[in-house]
Copies of this chain bind each other. A is one copy, B any other.
């Protein structure tokens, strides 16, 4: 049995991305490994043994091509409305609050945030299957 441990994205600016994931989601840097050509930064929250890995390729300035295959990382929060207000107040890029239903069946409430490189993060109200 394999155990899911991290998801890796390439970002242009280490400090900018670390600051974003700290401020937006409360993640902390739990490890950082610098190589001659690139640096790996591992960030995690308190609750889950799953990490976000940032790869910074030194000298890269051209924005990464995000394509249309990879979708997003998702997080749950205790109070979606409060988080939406906080993101907005702090000037963090967000889409609309969505009350998502399948026909008449509620699926979840969420909004999408966008990180400094353009990656989407789905912010979901804790509840139901999103725990």
Contact = CB atoms under 8 A, between A and B. Distances in A.
Interface of A: 1-10, 24-27, 31, 33, 35, 42, 44-50, 52-53, 55, 64-77, 83, 102, 107, 117-119, 122-124, 126, 129-131
Copies, count: 2
Contact of A107 (B10, B33, B66, B83): B33
B70 A1 contact: no
Contacts of A71: 7-10, 53, 55
Contacts of A47: 1, 3
A105 B55 CA distance: 19
A17 B102 CA distance: 23
A31 B119 CA distance: 25
B70 A66 contact: yes
A102 B102 CA distance: 49
B49 A131 contact: yes
13 contacts: A2-B75, A2-B83, A3-B48, A3-B77, A4-B75, A5-B124, A6-B73, A9-B70, A33-B102, A35-B102, A49-B131, A69-B119, A70-B119
